[in-house]
Amino acid sequence: GAVVSQHPSWVICKSGTSVKIECRSLDFQATTMFWYRQFPKQSLMLMATSNEGSKATYEQGVEKDKFLINHASLTLSTLTVTSAHPEDSSFYICSAREKFGALYTEAFFGQGTRLTVV
Amino acid sequence: QKEVEQNSGPLSVPEGAIASLNCTYSDRGSQSFFWYRQYSGKSPELIMSIYSNGDKEDGRFTAQLNKASQYVSLLIRDSQPSDSATYLCAVKSKNRDDKIIFGKGTRLHILP
């Protein structure tokens, strides 16, 4: 399958600071990228969907000003957690897919980023 | 009704037996169905995808889809301890802009 690289794999930050997570598609053009959050023993919760070159679409209840998503190129999307607080500590996972005409490929996942806010 | 429902488990199965994982979904417009395996602390990995009614086999894994019943299942034959993980059912629907919606997952424990 296609490779999606997510960086960093883990990060610890102080409360009030911002953290940027990168998601790169290494061997395909990621027309769409999805950002998920997963709390312990919970399922993946979709936070937002981003299409290259356009603004991200956020799911209900997700603060767009707190979770800034940029998808400026077909191989890179970033998620910035602004003014992070301990309740933002979670496992953040990106996934990416490519579009061919009206069809999409499977979604491939990055390795995930474990964020701990202290 | 939740969009994708799974029994959270844990489901305990003896090594060598068949593990059966079930999933129901609410959106009749769903077109693509996936099973992901997720080990603790790791990202999900795709095991099977199925798009039409019936069975699809890949090695020890068989996915079954019944769109009339809005039901999809995963069978794992000859279960191995390495199969112990959380299995996530996921559904894609045009009614949801082709987003992939995940169930909460079923924890599977293979007993040696």
Q: What pLDDT sits at residue A32? A: 87
Chain B residue with minimum CA distance to A1:
B46
CB contact under 8 A, A34 and B99: yes
The 10s digit of each residue's pLDDT in B30-54 is: 889 999 999 988 999 989 999 999 9
**A1, A43, A49 member nearest B105 (Cβ):** A43
pLDDT band at B101 (very low <50, low <70, confident <90, very high): confident
Q: Is the pLDDT of residue B63 over 90?
A: yes
Return per-residue pLDDT of chain A as tens, 118 residues: 678 999 999 999 999 999 999 999 998 888 889 999 999 888 889 999 988 888 899 999 999 999 999 988 889 999 999 999 999 999 999 998 877 666 666 778 999 999 999 9
The CA distance from A73 to B105, in Å, is 32
Q: What pLDDT sits at residue A18? A: 97
Q: State mean pLDDT over B90-110.
A: 85
The 10s digit of each residue's pLDDT in B64-98 is: 999 999 999 999 999 999 999 999 999 987 766 67
- Give CA torsion, residues A22, A26, A29, A34, to 10 deg: -40
Closest CA–CA distance from residue A83 to any residue of chain B (Å): 25
In degrees, rounded to 5, the angle at the alpha carbon of residue B21 between the alpha carbons of residues B15 and B22 is: 165
The CA radius of gyration of chain A, in Å to the nearest whole number, is 14
Chain B residue with minimum CA distance to A49:
B99
Interface of A with B in 60-89 (CB under 8 A): none
**A107, A110, A112 member nearest B100 (Cβ):** A107
Query: A92 contacts in B (CB within 8 Å)?
Result: none
**A1, A49, A109 member nearest B99 (Cβ):** A49
CB contact under 8 A, A49 and B104: no
* Amino acid present at B11: L
